[in-house]
Amino acid sequence: MLETNHSEMAMPLVLIVDDEPLMRLQLKRAMKQLGYQVAEATNGAECLDLYVQLNPDLVLLDALMPVMDGFTCCTKLQTLPTTEQVYPAPVLMITALESEESVERAFESGAVDYVTKPIHWAVLNQRVRRLIAQAQLQQQQALLQQQLQEANLALQRLANTDSLTGLANRRCFDAHFAQEWRRMAREKQPLSLILCDVDFFKHYNDTYGHQAGDRCLMSVAKAISSSVKRSSDLAARYGGEEFAVILPNTDEVGAAIIAEAICTNIRALNIAHSSSNIAEYVTLSLGVATMVPRPQFNSELFFTASDAALYRAKDEGRDRYCVQSSASFSSFMEPLNG
């Protein structure tokens, strides 16, 4: 049972748990004199239910009760979920037992302090005020830390995200590529790279305007992103109307399947492009390169190979992808020191 009124809504809440009505009454009066809200439970089982419902700031818990004693209840309290608090509410154990064993048991069950019966009320009041103040400070610090982490994550997302399309930006792409290049070199697994370019995009901007161009790039980005399924894959806006896709653990066949899916998804957008020399709608040209990275090779030349495939796709009529065969890589993949 919770006793409160409108003026007390911002005050800390103390959950009193004792099977003796007189003791609950005395504790309630003491807590109200300190200005706190009060909720009452007659045993440990009731305490667990109220604790989840009310999220108290402090629990005054009698050690010896029927149904569920205070030690068992306190242990269970430490694992209960709460909706508002980061840490469990502190438990002050109230016990008639003064043995060293009972005190140790109280602390082992999760209590942060204890008082013995008969209660010295001035001592109890001082400990309650201290524990609530400490708990509130701890919660505030935890909340600030959580807010700081969320703010840092938000800044990191902004720093790594293209503001127009929502895809990874060039900075994020470069970092991810370097990471996957090293990982695939260690694991001796294939890495694929797809470079994409919107066909005749300058003509599109000249015809429809830059706002329409932005909307076009946003739609293209979404179509590319929907073609990339795995968490290790990354689609990025590489610059202007250029996009890039990193596909770790993907061979030439797998990369070609993704490239074809991208082309299909772009065509399905059916974005009108009356200034295109090859189609009535927006299309892409793509260049695909695949290799197993080796430490002695310069990763920048991997981009050269993919870029060569992209230009070949343009030369062959656009609206298609071309694959740079790994057998022809000798003309691109020169040793770092050679």
Which residue numbers are catalytic? 241
Q: At what angle do helices 21-33 and 121-160 cross, to 10 degrees?
A: 70
Distance, in Å, from the CA atom of 53 to the CA atom of 292, rounded to the nearest integer, reads 57
| Integer CA distances (angstroms), 153 to 140, 156, 176, 224, 288, in order | 20, 5, 17, 25, 33
Q: What are phi and psi of 251, to 5 degrees?
A: -85, -175
Q: For residue 255, which of 247, 267, 264, 243 has the smallest C-alpha distance?
A: 247
Q: What are phi and psi of 15, to 5 degrees?
A: -95, 115
Distance, in Å, from the CA atom of 176 to the CA atom of 172, rounded to the nearest integer, reads 6
Structure tokens at 127: 């400990």
Distance, in Å, from the CA atom of 185 to the CA atom of 189, rounded to the nearest integer, reads 7
CA dihedral of 327, 246, 308, 284, whole degrees rounded to 10: 130
Give 329's DSSP letter.
G
Question: What is residue 33's three-state secondary structure?
Answer: helix
Three-state helix/strand/coil letters over 159-189: HHECCCCCCECHHHHHHHHHHHHHHHHHHCC
Q: Is the distance from CB of 109 to CB of 47 less than 8 angstroms?
A: no
Give 190's DSSP letter.
-
